[in-house]
Amino acid sequence: MNPGTEPSFRDSVDIMFNRAVALMDLSPGLEEKIRVCNATYTVRFGVRLRGGIQTFTGYRSVHSEHMEPVKGGIRYSPGVNQNEVEALAALMTYKCALVEAPFGGSKGGLCIDPRDYDEHELELITRRFAYELIKRDMINPAQNVPAPDMGTGEREMAWIADQYKRMNTTDINGVACVTGKPINAGGIHGRTEYTEELKTFIADKASNSQRFLAMLARNALNRTPPLGFFRTFVMEESGKQAKTFNLKRRGTAPVSDLIRVHALACGSRAQNTFNRLKAIGQTKLIPEDGVDNLRDAFEFIAIVRIRHQALSIEAGREPDNNVRPEDLSPFERSHLKDAFQVVGQAQKFLKFRYNPQATRNV
């Protein structure tokens, strides 16, 4: 992690890990061995689509093989990168260890927006990605077993399982190369309504637990909007991102975090920011004008972020979330400051309502 910059997702996971192991008596070198990812495989492959060849980038990270097979989902998202899959693979290891599930941690991802492709195209892409992973034993019922994640589901798992069986015709356990398959593709029977029951249970418990809400509020206040006392932008001071501010980490993410706390407090089971805001407004937890201001601020920051990424792609640069103020129009600069001010005020209300300071020593 570069000094003066916000920690990446991977850095954040390591920070939490370091806090935990500081309370343990581990033998020399073991702490480092547990923390690092064993391997991350990056694949770039081409698929013939729409009269041409499109190249895609995918990842499969294995954090720990202390128990096999390793487990972890495969996600499809334009924002997938090595840092993200390594962080998620590490979290998978820790989650399995905490609940004593006999698996190591892994994670995979494909840098793609699945909404940009029809079903046939997605099948071609998925099978090609699976082919690259299978031939390197990054998908194997005894070694590495993926599952659905963001942007994937039963359909993609069925394609991957079928591709594995085509390439390993003598493996009698081939259908076990992935979990999350539909019943007709070798999946197991179960009660899918358990997920909804769990959501209801958590929503009921969370809304009645002030301590839990206070801890979530404390976490939501870790990221503040990049606006100074005199309405000047607060930018990174050093490193590769010097003289920029991050529109995701310090813009849309803080809004999503604080809205999530309020939504849980009012017992909402909504799954996205706008639906949560609607639920919050209906319960009058936040005044109506406050809900409208938060929605407008969130939308404007998101629009500026998307426009910045689109311009980066047009210029042949890798899209990111880091913006230089001089690259923004006067209109964008002025209204971003207004939006960040709204976020800052919403965080002050969050701090007042849930008293996160009371959890400081928890």
Report pLDDT for 27: 85
On whether both 77 and 183 belong to a single domain, the answer is yes
CA distances from 80 to 31, 60, 145 (A): 27, 11, 19
Query: What mean pLDDT is predicted for residues 284-309?
Result: 92
User: By percentage, how much of the chain surpasses pLDDT 90?
Assistant: 67
pLDDT band at 359 (very low <50, low <70, confident <90, very high): low
On whether both 103 and 4 belong to a single domain, the answer is no
Minimum mean pLDDT among 190-204, 244-258, 277-291, 304-318: which range? 190-204
Amino acid at 103: F
Residue 141 has pLDDT above 70, yes or no: yes
On whether both 225 and 132 belong to a single domain, the answer is no
pLDDT band at 6 (very low <50, low <70, confident <90, very high): low
Spatial distance between the Cα atoms of 41 and 77, rounded to a whole number of angstroms: 17
- Confirm if 319 and 247 have CB atoms less than 8 A apart: no
Give per-residue pLDDT as tens, 104-117. Answer: 999 999 999 999 99
Spatial distance between the Cα atoms of 156 and 182, rounded to a whole number of angstroms: 10
Minimum mean pLDDT among 4-13, 99-108, 160-169: which range? 4-13
Residue 100 CB contacts under 8 Å (≥ 6 apart), including other chains: none
Query: What mean pLDDT is predicted for residues 331-346?
Result: 95
Minimum mean pLDDT among 34-43, 52-61, 213-222: which range? 213-222
Give per-residue pLDDT as tens, 196-228. Answer: 788 888 888 888 898 899 989 998 998 899 998
Q: Go through the chain and tell me how many residues it has.
A: 362
Report pLDDT for 2: 52
pLDDT band at 5 (very low <50, low <70, confident <90, very high): low
Q: CA dihedral defined by 333, 338, 339, 342, rounded to 10 degrees? A: 160
On whether both 337 and 202 belong to a single domain, the answer is yes
Report pLDDT for 361: 54
Residue 164 has pLDDT above 90, yes or no: yes
Query: What mean pLDDT is predicted for residues 26-54?
Result: 92
Active-site annotation, residues: 107
On whether both 266 and 170 belong to a single domain, the answer is no
**Which candidate, 134, 116, 178, places its Cα nearest to that of 41?**
134
Transcribe 107-157 into DSSP letters.
Answer: EEEEE--GGGS-HHHHHHHHHHHHHHHHTTTSSBTTTEEEEE-TT--HHHH
Give the CATH number for residue 336: 1.20.120
Residue 340 has pLDDT above 90, yes or no: yes
- Name the domain boundary from 145, 171, 190: 190
- Name the domain boundary from 172, 190, 208: 190
The conformation of residue 178, written as its DSSP 8-state character, comes to S
- Beta-strand relationship, 104-111 and 70-77: parallel
pTM across the whole model: 0.67
The two three-digit tokens of residue 88, written as one number = 């998620």
Upstream peptide bond of 69 is cis (omega within 30 degrees of 0)? yes
- Name the domain boundary from 135, 170, 190: 190
**Which candidate, 307, 301, 203, places its Cα nearest to that of 253?**
301
Spatial distance between the Cα atoms of 108 and 126, rounded to a whole number of angstroms: 12
Maximal CA-CA distance, the chain: 69
Report pLDDT for 79: 87
Look-up of token digits 């999946």: 187
On whether both 90 and 206 belong to a single domain, the answer is no
Report pLDDT for 238: 76
Minimum mean pLDDT among 22-31, 194-203, 319-328: which range? 194-203
On whether both 208 and 146 belong to a single domain, the answer is no
On whether both 24 and 72 belong to a single domain, the answer is no
On whether both 226 and 300 belong to a single domain, the answer is yes
**Three-state DSSP class for residue 4:** coil
Instruction: Residue 32: give the domain boundaries.
Output: 1-36
On whether both 138 and 53 belong to a single domain, the answer is yes
Query: What mean pLDDT is predicted for residues 293-307?
Result: 95
Spatial distance between the Cα atoms of 186 and 327, rounded to a whole number of angstroms: 53
**Number of domains composing the chain:** 3
On whether both 160 and 115 belong to a single domain, the answer is yes
Residue 3 has pLDDT above 70, yes or no: no
On whether both 147 and 236 belong to a single domain, the answer is no
Query: What mean pLDDT is predicted for residues 179-190?
Result: 86
Q: What is the overall mean pLDDT for the chain?
A: 90
Q: Environment class of residue 331 by beta-carbon count within 10 Å: exposed (0-12), middle (13-18) or buried (19+)? A: exposed
Residue 185 has pLDDT above 90, yes or no: no
For the chain, percent helix, then strand, then coil, each to nearest 5? 50, 15, 35
